[in-house]
Amino acid sequence: MQTNKFDQNLKNSIRLIIALMVFLSIPGCGFKDPVESTNIPAVTPVIGTATPEPETALVFEQVDLPVGYGYTSSFVDVYFTEPRSGLAYYEEDGIETKLIESIDGAKVSIDLAIYSFDHYLIERALINAFKRGVTVRMVMESDSLDSSSVIRLLAAGIPIVGDDTSSLMHNKFLIIDEVEVWTGSANYTYDSFYVDNNNLIRIADEEIAANYEAEFEEMFSVHFFSTDTKNNTPYRVVDLSGTKIETLFSPDDQIARVIVNLLKNSTKSIYFMAYAMTAEDYSEVLIGQFNNGLIIEGILDGQLLKSGGSEFEQLINSGIQVLPDGNDGLLHHKVMIIDEEIVVTGSYNFTANAERQNDENILIIYNKALAKLFLEEFGRINEIRPSTP
């Protein structure tokens, strides 16, 4: 497409420079000592403690969705699936329709890192964007490269890089024109949008987009995954009109230390919706804060609990109100809501593998209005969970 040719060449040149900078910043120009490749990254300064600027009221308007819940504001949108809807059976008109609208509006580039992809309409939107001259690139978990959608994307000429590691490329993020980021807990599959409880969050900001672009280039251009990755996020903390947003990636940023620090400093309440919680760090601080008199409530995925290994029993035995969800699908959120004003969300399960091995991302967003929307989602799921394990 001639009108975009200059922009595309410029973007490609910039991406090459970024890739070279990432590559050359690694000791040995990218050739790692095999022994060092298994080390957990050095401890980074703990964030999550800085006091945000006074929050400017963020006004959300509800989005009319046949299947799901949506809310939009000046720079952040959030969407929740609704598996209980009678229309969910038809697998259309869900929260991914808003994602597709953004893909359809892309002008220059789309970069996507996704654990699992099998969704015809999103696939079509990406292929159509590619055909109209938009640069489309993808990174995926290698074990998920055999789906029908992925095969057709490759056949259309869209480049897809697999992680080729024993760990998981577990991210779920998409960057449009380097100014807009979609992330959250949802994979790009029909089950994710119509069977499981998931969230999508969209943020329009160049600096946050630059954070995700740096992570994407590291995987796509340099082929560094898992413990090969480097802590190179350009804007770890961004302030958007008084809303502080922190961007973290795993295993680079030792996310557990940041979240645990937030939990230790909470003064009122902690609510969590989690597919998995197997790391003792979280149960220990939750129990400690419960004993300090804070409100602690949680919902875990009932299907995963049956396989064992969760901190569920320890939390229950401490007196904390935490029960399995009542959805026949998955409770796939990875969410914490702290003091009704801080939201933690992304692809990161609260597990040792997510912390030390997998490629993951989270956002920590300091905003009461957004926290209220996540608390409403907690309430919806809480309504259908069983009263006993």
Q: What are phi and psi of 197, to 5 degrees?
A: -85, 120
Q: Is 50 exceeded by the pLDDT of residue 314? A: yes
Q: For residue 26, what pLDDT is reported?
A: 40
Q: What is the pLDDT of residues 332-350, one digit of tens each?
A: 999 999 999 999 999 999 9
H-helix or E-strand containing 284?
Answer: helix 280-291
User: 13 or 110: whose pLDDT is higher?
Assistant: 110
Q: What is the pLDDT of residues 180-236, one digit of tens each?
A: 999 999 999 999 999 999 999 999 999 999 999 999 999 999 999 999 977 789 999
Task: Report the C-alpha gap between 26 and 224 in whole angstroms.
Answer: 10
Q: Is 332:221 a contact under the CB 8 Å cutoff?
A: no
User: 135 or 56: whose pLDDT is higher?
Assistant: 135
Q: For residue 385, what pLDDT is reported?
A: 64
Q: Is 90 exceeded by the pLDDT of residue 170? A: yes
Q: What is the pLDDT of residues 54-92, one digit of tens each?
A: 556 789 999 999 999 999 999 999 999 999 999 999 999
Q: Which residues contact 138 (CB under 8 A, 6 or more apart)?
A: 111, 112, 113, 114, 117, 153, 158, 159, 160, 161, 220
Q: What are phi and psi of 34, to 5 degrees?
A: -55, -35
Q: How would residue 306 be classed by pLDDT, with cut points 50, 70 and 90?
A: confident
Q: For residue 279, what pLDDT is reported?
A: 87
Q: Is 129:191 a contact under the CB 8 Å cutoff?
A: no
Q: For residue 386, what pLDDT is reported?
A: 62
308: alpha, beta or left? (left if phi > 0; alpha if psi -120 to 50) = left
Task: Report the C-alpha gap between 201 and 335 in whole angstroms.
Answer: 12
Give me the residue label for tokens 């922009």: 7
H-helix or E-strand containing 104?
Answer: helix 96-104
Parallel, antiparallel or unpaired: strands 188-189 and 117-118? parallel
Q: For residue 36, what pLDDT is reported?
A: 27
Parallel, antiparallel or unpaired: strands 135-140 and 160-162? parallel
334's tokens? 């990875």
Task: Report the C-alpha gap between 152 and 36 in whole angstroms.
Answer: 38
Q: Provide DSSP, 135-146.
A: EEEEEE-GGGTT
Q: Is 80 exceeded by the pLDDT of residue 360? A: yes
Could you give the domains of the chain? Answer: 2-30+57-228 (3.30.870.10), 238-384 (3.30.870.10)
Q: For residue 161, what pLDDT is reported?
A: 98
Which range has the worst mean pLDDT, 16-20, 266-270, 313-317? Answer: 16-20
Q: Is 80 exceeded by the pLDDT of residue 4? A: no
pTM value is 0.86
DSSP state of 197: B
Q: For residue 55, what pLDDT is reported?
A: 56
The CA R_g of the chain, rounded to the nearest whole Å, is 20
Q: Which residues contact 289 (CB under 8 A, 6 or more apart)?
A: 263, 264, 266, 270, 296
Residues 243/186/376/306 CA torsion (nearest 10 deg): -130
User: 34 or 163: whose pLDDT is higher?
Assistant: 163
Parallel, antiparallel or unpaired: strands 188-189 and 160-162? unpaired
Q: Across the strands, what pairs with 169?
A: 359
Task: Work out the mean pLDDT of the chain and round it to a whole number.
Answer: 88
Averaged pLDDT, 8-25: 48
Our measurement of the distance from residue 250's CA atom to the centroid of its chain's CA atoms, rounded to an integer in Å, reads 11
CA distances from 125 to 47, 96, 159, 241 (A): 37, 11, 15, 32
Active site residues: 332, 334, 339
Q: How would residue 15 be classed by pLDDT, with cut points 50, 70 and 90?
A: low
Q: Is 326:387 a contact under the CB 8 Å cutoff?
A: no
Q: For residue 155, what pLDDT is reported?
A: 98
Averaged pLDDT, 22-39: 34
Above pLDDT 70, what percent of the chain? 84
